[in-house]
């Protein structure tokens, strides 16, 4: 069994807004010192709503997967997409944005 990578006490984080499923969300992402995505937080403007809870839970599971070494693209490919290949969920939208930025480096 692999071990969970420890996050640095201080790490670069970025907060931005996204829209998914017709709703607005706020996402915060943080990185390991080597530049890999380390954690994700997603929330909806309606705290405690089903959309908010689902987004927060998905982000926690994705963060744990990233910290255990699951590649970003593996997680992205596992998520639901519409008939045009666009992400169906807030997590998918955040991960697509991160992947697009990394590809543009």
Give me 51's structure tokens.
């959309």
Residue 32 maps to a domain: yes
Burial letters for 37-71: b for 16+ Cβ neighbours within 10 Å, e otherwise? bbbbbbbbeeeeeebbebbbebbeebbeebbeeee
Number of domains in the chain: 1
Residue 91 maps to a domain: yes
Q: pTM above the 0.85 mark?
A: yes
pLDDT in tens, 83-95: 999 999 999 999 9
Virtual CA dihedral for 83, 84, 90, 91, nearest 10 degrees?
90
Residue 30 maps to a domain: yes
pLDDT in tens, 28-60: 999 999 999 999 999 998 888 999 999 999 999
DSSP secondary structure letter of residue 87: B
Residue 51 maps to a domain: yes
Residue 60 maps to a domain: yes
Q: State which residues form the domain around 65.
A: 13-103
Residue 6 maps to a domain: no
Residue 31 maps to a domain: yes
């Amino acid at each position: 069994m692999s071990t969970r990578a420890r996050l640095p006490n201080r790490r670069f984080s970025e907060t931005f807004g996204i829209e998914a499923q017709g709703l607005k969300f706020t996402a915060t992402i943080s990185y390991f010192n080597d530049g890999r995505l380390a954690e994700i937080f997603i929330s909806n403007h309606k705290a405690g709503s089903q959309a908010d809870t689902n987004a927060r839970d998905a982000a926690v599971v994705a963060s744990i997967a990233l910290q255990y070494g699951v590649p970003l693209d593996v997680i992205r490919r596992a998520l639901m997409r519409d008939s045009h290949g666009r992400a169906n969920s807030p997590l998918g939208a955040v991960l697509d944005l991160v992947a697009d930025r990394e590809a543009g480096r």
